[in-house]
Structure 1
Amino acid sequence: MSQPEDLSQFSMQDLFRMEAQSQTQILTDGLLALERRPADAGALEAMMRAAHSIKGAAAIVGLDMVVQLAHGMEDAFVAAQHGKLQLTPNRVDVLLAGVDLILQCSQLDGEGVPAWLAANGAQLDQTQTRIRGIAFLPEPVRPAPAPAPAPVPVPTPAPVSAAPPAATPSAQAPVAAPSGDGDSDNPAPAPGAPPRQLAPLKTAQNYDRLLSLASESRIGAHQMHPFIQNMQRFKRHQASLFGALDALHDAIAQGEDASLKEKSVLAQQRSQPLRQFMLEHIAEIEAYERRLLATSKNMVDEVLMLRMRPFRDGVQHFPRMVRDLARNLGKDVRLDIRGEDTLVDRDILAHMESPLNHMLRNAVDHGMETPEQRSAAGKPAVGSVVLEARHRAGMLNIEISDDGRGVDVEKIRRTVIQRKMAPEQMAQAMSAAELMEFLFLPAFSLKESTTEISGRGVGLDIVHDTIRQQNGTVKIESEPGKGFRTSITLPLTQSMVRALVVEIAGEAYAIPIVKVERVLRVPQNAIHVLENKQFFEHEGEHLGLVPAAQVLELGEHNDAQAELPVVVIGNGARRYALVMDTIRGEQSLAVQSLEAVFGKMRDIYAAALLDNGEPVLILDVADLLVSIDKLLHEGALHQMLRGSQGARRKLKRVLVVDDSLTVREMERKLLLGRGYQVDVAIDGIDGWNMVRSGEYDLVVTDIDMPRMDGIELVALIKRDLHLHKLPVMVVSYKDRPEDRARGLAAGADYYLTKGSFHDETLLDAVADLIGEASS
């Protein structure tokens, strides 16, 4: 296979470092394979070659300690190949410790070797001694935790470390404190993991520039289409002209003027090449457009392929990490990685390493039982964790499943109640799926005590946030006693995004299609108002309406349309319908990062160019949901009905303000029955916000209400320059003369006591103030 790089630019130390990274990975994979399949002759042969290669390369660069380690390992493999040595887990621990030391040594430069030897000389000598005497190494009944290794005193892209063998042989403790319940900070790579350089910065920048150029070529190809349409239009006009010319020629041919006939024949002869020219050249231009589109598409696809890496590149160190962590906990667990050849965007692969690390550690620490517990439960003594990646429905799907004990849903329920995260009655009514969502909350842990491995209450919330930042989703399922499964769905690439293009305040914006739940058109007469929030009913659910122009601070929405185009985003309680100007349709966009000088722009994820060359901003849906929540909390959302009031003014509109649900609903039904349009508010503040944002013919208000009473509300309305003429009716249980006087003094147009009116009393009073419902 050809070497893409000029190796002459590397020093011998650089070449040794690269060779050590690849060969130590072969040794690690082979040792783990032999632990599972002791008769795997192929793995032994590959490890012998790897150890021999390391020994020769280390001799060239003068690393005698590496030569000795590799020589001892090679002897062990020869003995195993001849059946004289069985590579038991305890012996594998010692050999893996040697692999880690070799990898550490390979990362050193010439100046750093003496300092590293001074710090790790004892450990190095002990490991070499144990490898030479590996045949006499006993296998303990239960491995004990090993001490943490000394760090490498030189900076490396991803430092690795080796655990020294203890007096009682054991597995290495993970370098980073592993997580439980998703509990971890920023774990370092597992021991023996090669430095992971999925995409050097310069290479990444080259990829981005290539993608930008390929995207521009695609846009240029698409811009041929309007040109061809203009040519087709010209051809139709030309055909019409030639038709008129033929008709003129026929008319002249029937006359007597020979000179005119001669000129007509000449005109027809000269027009004939023009007719053929248009037909031939339009066909050529259309063929050229097809070739250009295909070439530009292939160019984009090829650049995207440069950004793709096999799934194995980001997960090859996990089997070692799982194995060592399990032995440290007194368990026996094997990780099976499937779909290693599945192609994944390099950026997604890099970002997903930490979440996958969290989930695998959780599976070992929380999910897996000890061999004795598994045998007692009728399970194999060796636990199984499966990590699988595959493409499905145009997305990347990663699943992590184990055959452990699963999650005790009732324990989650008890924890939720104990920590007062939900009322007991509500918690008892929650389904298993709803309770599982609590695992994604910050600081939520089922561990009763904090240990090195878990119980800090940090982890799954970070996993959830990281996946969400990658425009993905995560779902967890558990079957008590049988296992736990995590399903992660992500875009195939972050470089291209399939997006819904919309228009807001006259400007084009894009929403990643994976974040769009559905697109609807909502008639104006289907919109309702409750507590100053507008909503419509869809499939038995109330969906809140939010003008996208206001969320993005682009002014007010132009709502003169009879039907509003909306895009539904979010899920659960945070599910909203964003009102757009128009929906243009779907497009595949090449994502362009915003300049760093702008920082993180609120509600904006990235930028792109549409097929016609028009720039477009890609919206950040997670940010949008936060902005919407803020507007709702402040009660500042604009009403969507004002633009259509001209058509709706036939029915008069009444606002009922009352903190009593019973009274509020009774008054609403009475007024609706008489034909009025009715909105309701739950207190004075809510009523004040609604009366300012809507156009009402009458306000009916109670007096005693929280936050703002009816007297204050009446006074505010009557002092407002635009609202002072709005009729206000006070309906209250207070029937003392001084109460009536207070209400009328504040500016109320009518005062009615709840204890004295019948249905018709209220309706007659309303009719006296504003007339009948229709006008």
Structure 2
Amino acid sequence: MSEPEDLSGFSMLELFRMEAESQTQALTDGLLALERGNEANNRGSAIEPMMRAAHSIKGAAAIVGLDVIVQLAHGMEDAFIAAQHGKLRLTPNRVDVLLAGVDLIVQCSHLKESDVPAWLAASQGAITGTMNAIAGIAFLPEPLEPAPAPAMSSMPPAAPGPEAALPEAALPEAPFPEAALRDVPPPDAAMAPARPAHAKAAPLGDRLLSLASESRIGAHQMRPLIDTMQRFKRSQSELLTALDDLRDAIAQNGDAALQEKAALVLQRSQPLKQTTLAQIADMENYERRLLNVSQQLVDEVLAIRMRPFRDGVQHFPRMVRDLARALGKDVRLEIRGEDTLVDRDILARIENPLNHMLRNAVDHGLEMPYERAAAGKDVCGTIVMEARHRGGMLNIDIVDDGRGVDPERIRAAVVARRMATGAMADAMSIPELMEFLFLPAFSLKEDITEISGRGVGLDIVQDTIRQQNGTVRIESRPGLGFHTFITLPLTQSIVRALVVDVRGEAYAIPIVKVERVAQVPQSAIHTLENKQFFDLDGEHLGLVSSAQVLELGDMEHHELLPVIVIGSGARRYGLVVDVIRGEQSLAVQSIEPVFGKLRDISAAALLNDGKPVLLLDVPDLLLSIEKLLAEGGLHQLARADPATQRRMKRILVVDDSLTVREMERKLLAGRGFEVDIAVDGMDGWNVVRSGDYDLVITDVDMPRMDGIELVNLIKKDIHLHKLPVMIVSYKDRPEDRARGLAAGADYYLTKGSFHDETLLDAVRDLIGDPHR
């Protein structure tokens, strides 16, 4: 059983606010559900939760002395009792009145204690009108059986009013003070603040995440120490080899005393080798345990920051319902995946984009009831909003069954606004046409209202989602509906990023913003009008120096240019960097506000080795690149004199698995190494003796000759004994590791923990960069 929450530090008004927050949501959800239900539901168990909610609010308000709330809740309770006994039907107009009472309770509960008297004075008219309206519907006599609703005409009415979508609006009801209801602001005008407990927990969660990230960095800092020990082992091995040579030279000299001393030195040095191997193994085991614990700590802290999707969207059904009634439509919002966990910061930041999409669906997408009836649809339109985790990302889909968007209307609007010629517009695909809906001030709606028609909405949605390192895509089925696909990272606290070096400084780019990574040879660069391009899958992509974009000076010239492809569509470029380090999970830290918004920079973080790194703002980068292209004067990336090219270093990969061989070959060749392959140990031994290699990478278990035997032969050969050898094995067997290192292997890497950068880092550690 979980420990009860400690509420001793909260005032009575704060406790009332917490109570009112949950109970008013229960009232809203219940009223909307009953409005969609049938008469049996009005008399069934669906009324009971709302009666309890109103009663709880009444009791809590009495304790803090809010008599107005007591009277409102009491009137609502009477209305629910009447509905439960069949004396009151909760028609849409009556639901309006009850929801107005809920809104007043919400407003009052959000006030500071000192602001309550002023609010009561300013809202007296709305309060009195709502109380009278609630009292008026609570004691109506049992209504007569309603007359059959008139047949729905397929023709639009001359002037559809707010009740056009609601057949029950024609029933006789008691008069309501509508002017008083208009004084009550909509519920989303002043959204509920976070509970005090949440507000206090938020800074604590941020601090815990910072500490957890530091613990993970501390664990990663074991790796440089282990690498140093590996280098020490190799130096030690070279020293022992030198002692062997010295002993052999003394033996040839024939001095017995020196021979005895040399033998004694060798005898005393042998335990050092075994001790070093044991210490390295212990350090690696400790590193694995430390990394595991620190990662679990980070995961647990991130879990604290997660909130169910419902917390950010629970007010949307009410908003959709009220907006639809104002437009004379009948619309139902269905929310799925309410328990899907979302980072609290992301949840807060996507509220407005989701609000825009829902309003667009109600206003643009969903037809009037008579239009839906004529099209053979249910007069009640449906919007489904669903959240789920997929592929390590948060996916939010918003689907409506409205009229959709006709791509031909977009095509005509593009031509009419001279955004493209007729021929160009005719050649555009449907996805390309849909992208125009994201442009500022682009709208297909001819009439401008308070809700839409100004072309403001989808561009804001796209910008906000992109700021969260997400993407948004739209599809339409004319006459059938509209579908919005939103993809976001699960959290902004930990970002998976590609770390690169530019002029000796580390920078990181969120992986979701990286389309592709490539190695572009100097010979593949061509220049047109002082701009540099390369071919990527048949497309010419512009190349730009990251050092120039970031104003860090000229770049170093490389035979192979590491290129990060960013952007999309026409705004797609190759950003040239000095070195691609690889992927890391970074704990994001905001930059101090005193610095303001830094150009091309979005945030900061700490690398696994504890060093600081700046996260690049890709939308900002694209703007900076376009500015450079417009101004001209781009730095030249191609080397002027090809005669200065250096020869590539050669690596021999020995593995009996075709898949492993090809993966390692492509990975190493992509980084600029010349790579040969051998299919087993015997083949590798024959190849290595006939070529000039800088490194051998070998598996352990192979037919004819295993990797350990191959290492032994290489290290005992008078011509090859200094050639570095790396063992890469799927089986992390201690005996294999000990045998391999004892045979003289310079590096032992297990494929179980293997990834691209691990291998490349090891190769770089052994033989440096790809050129001699």
CA shift digits 1:419-440 (9 cap, x unpaired): 3333333334333322222221
Q: Quick one: distance in 2 between partners of 1:192 and 1:615? A: 40
Q: What residue in structure 2 maps to residue 609 of structure 1?
A: 606
Q: What residue in structure 1 maps to residue 750 of structure 2?
A: none
1:591 aligns to what SS in structure 2?
strand
**Quick check: 2:126–2:181 contact (8 Å CA) kept in 1?**
no
Q: What residue in structure 1 maps to residue 637 of structure 2?
A: 640
Q: What residue in structure 1 maps to residue 26 of structure 2?
A: 26
**1:583 partnered with 2:586:** no
1:284 CA displacement: 2.9
**Quick check: 1:25–1:193 contact (8 Å CA) kept in 2?**
no
Q: What residue in structure 2 maps to residue 440 of structure 1?
A: 438
1:79 to 72, 78, 82: 82
2:122 to 89, 110, 119: 119
CA shift digits 1:396-451 (9 cap, x unpaired): 11111100011132332333333333333333433332222222111222222222
Q: Quick one: distance in 2 between partners of 1:430 and 1:629? A: 23
1:26 aligns to what SS in structure 2?
helix
1:562 to 552, 555, 559: 559
Q: What residue in structure 2 maps to residue 628 of structure 1?
A: 625
* 1:1-400 paired onto structure 2 within 5 Å: 6-38=6-38, 39-40=40-41, 41-134=44-137, 136=140, 144=162, 167=176, 190=188, 194-196=192-194, 203-235=201-233, 277-400=275-398
Q: What residue in structure 1 maps to residue 674 of structure 2?
A: none
Larger deviation, residues 17-26 vs 431-440:
431-440
1:646 CA displacement: 4.6
**Quick check: 1:144–1:168 contact (8 Å CA) kept in 2?**
no
CA shift digits 1:606-642 (9 cap, x unpaired): 1222212232211111111111111111112122224
Query: What amino acid maps onto 1:464 in structure 2?
Result: Q
1:297 CA displacement: 0.8
- Structure 2: gaps spanning 5 or more residues: 150-159, 165-173, 646-772
CA shift digits 1:750-769 (9 cap, x unpaired): xxxxxxxxxxxxxxxxxxxx
Q: 1:412 to 1:271 in 2, by over 3 A?
A: closer
1:533 CA displacement: 1.2
**Quick check: 2:126–2:180 contact (8 Å CA) kept in 1?**
no
2:613 aligns to what SS in structure 1?
strand
CA shift digits 1:482-527 (9 cap, x unpaired): 0011111111111111111112122221111111111111222222
Q: Quick one: distance in 1 between partners of 2:578 and 2:82? A: 76
Q: Quick one: distance in 1 between partners of 2:35 and 2:413? A: 40
CA shift digits 1:20-69 (9 cap, x unpaired): 11110111111112222345544322212111111111111122221122
Q: What residue in structure 2 maps to residue 729 of structure 1?
A: none
Q: Quick one: distance in 2 between partners of 1:630 and 1:262? A: 76
2:621 aligns to what SS in structure 1?
helix
1:335 CA displacement: 0.6
Q: 1:100 to 1:3 in 2, by over 3 A?
A: farther
Q: 1:423 to 1:271 in 2, by over 3 A?
A: closer
* 1:406-417 paired onto structure 2 within 5 Å: 406-417=404-415
Query: What amino acid maps onto 1:104 in structure 2?
Result: Q
Q: What residue in structure 1 maps to residue 520 of structure 2?
A: 522
**1:593 partnered with 2:601:** no
Q: What residue in structure 1 maps to residue 767 of structure 2?
A: none
Q: Quick one: distance in 1 between partners of 2:480 and 2:71? A: 47
Query: What amino acid maps onto 2:348 in structure 1?
Result: A
1:333 CA displacement: 0.6
Q: What residue in structure 2 maps to residue 500 of structure 1?
A: 498
Q: Quick one: distance in 2 between partners of 1:563 and 1:112? A: 67
Q: 1:581 to 1:279 in 2, by over 3 A?
A: closer
**Quick check: 2:97–2:181 contact (8 Å CA) kept in 1?**
no
Q: 1:408 to 1:247 in 2, by over 3 A?
A: closer
1:262 CA displacement: 10
Query: What amino acid maps onto 2:16 in structure 1?
Result: F
1:110 CA displacement: 4.7
CA shift digits 1:554-574 (9 cap, x unpaired): 111222x22222111111111
2:123 aligns to what SS in structure 1?
helix
Q: What residue in structure 2 maps to residue 478 of structure 1?
A: 476
CA shift digits 1:371-400 (9 cap, x unpaired): 221111111111100111111122111111
1:175 CA displacement: 8.1
Q: Quick one: distance in 1 between partners of 2:78 and 2:51? A: 9
**Quick check: 1:445–1:456 contact (8 Å CA) kept in 2?**
yes
1:211 CA displacement: 2.2
**Quick check: 1:171–1:328 contact (8 Å CA) kept in 2?**
no
Query: What amino acid maps onto 1:414 in structure 2?
Result: A
Query: What amino acid maps onto 1:85 in structure 2?
Result: L
Q: What residue in structure 2 maps to residue 683 of structure 1?
A: none
Query: What amino acid maps onto 2:95 in structure 1?
Result: V
Q: Quick one: distance in 2 between partners of 1:329 and 1:466? A: 27
Query: What amino acid maps onto 1:117 in structure 2?
Result: L
* Alignment root-mean-square deviation, CA: 3.5
CA shift digits 1:658-713 (9 cap, x unpaired): xxxxxxxxxxxxxxxxxxxxxxxxxxxxxxxxxxxxxxxxxxxxxxxxxxxxxxxx
2:550 to 549, 552, 575: 552
1:355 aligns to what SS in structure 2?
helix
Q: What residue in structure 2 maps to residue 770 of structure 1?
A: none
TM-score, reference length from structure 1: 0.73
2:615 to 611, 618, 621: 618
2:589 aligns to what SS in structure 1?
coil
1:249 CA displacement: 10
Larger deviation, residues 127-136 vs 524-533:
127-136
1:239 CA displacement: 6.4
**Quick check: 2:35–2:95 contact (8 Å CA) kept in 1?**
yes
CA shift digits 1:311-368 (9 cap, x unpaired): 1111110011001111111111111111111111111111100111011001001111
Q: Quick one: distance in 1 between partners of 2:7 and 2:197? A: 19
Q: Percent identical across equivalent pairs?
A: 70
Q: What residue in structure 1 maps to residue 570 of structure 2?
A: 573
* 1:676-755 paired onto structure 2 within 5 Å: none
Q: Quick one: distance in 1 between partners of 2:224 and 2:362? A: 59
Q: What residue in structure 2 maps to residue 705 of structure 1?
A: none
Which protein is bigger by CA-based radius of gyration?
A: 1
Larger deviation, residues 462-471 vs 108-117:
108-117
CA shift digits 1:128-152 (9 cap, x unpaired): 2322332539899986399xxxxxx
Q: Quick one: distance in 2 between partners of 1:205 and 1:266? A: 64
Q: Quick one: distance in 2 between partners of 1:189 and 1:508? A: 47
Q: 1:219 to 1:35 in 2, by over 3 A?
A: same
Q: Quick one: distance in 2 between partners of 1:262 and 1:120? A: 105
Q: Quick one: distance in 1 between partners of 2:639 and 2:244? A: 58
Q: 1:529 to 1:206 in 2, by over 3 A?
A: same
Q: Quick one: distance in 1 between partners of 2:196 and 2:632? A: 47
Larger deviation, residues 397-406 vs 101-110:
101-110
2:58 aligns to what SS in structure 1?
helix
Q: What residue in structure 2 maps to residue 676 of structure 1?
A: none
Q: What residue in structure 2 maps to residue 654 of structure 1?
A: none
2:429 to 407, 420, 431: 431
2:46 aligns to what SS in structure 1?
helix
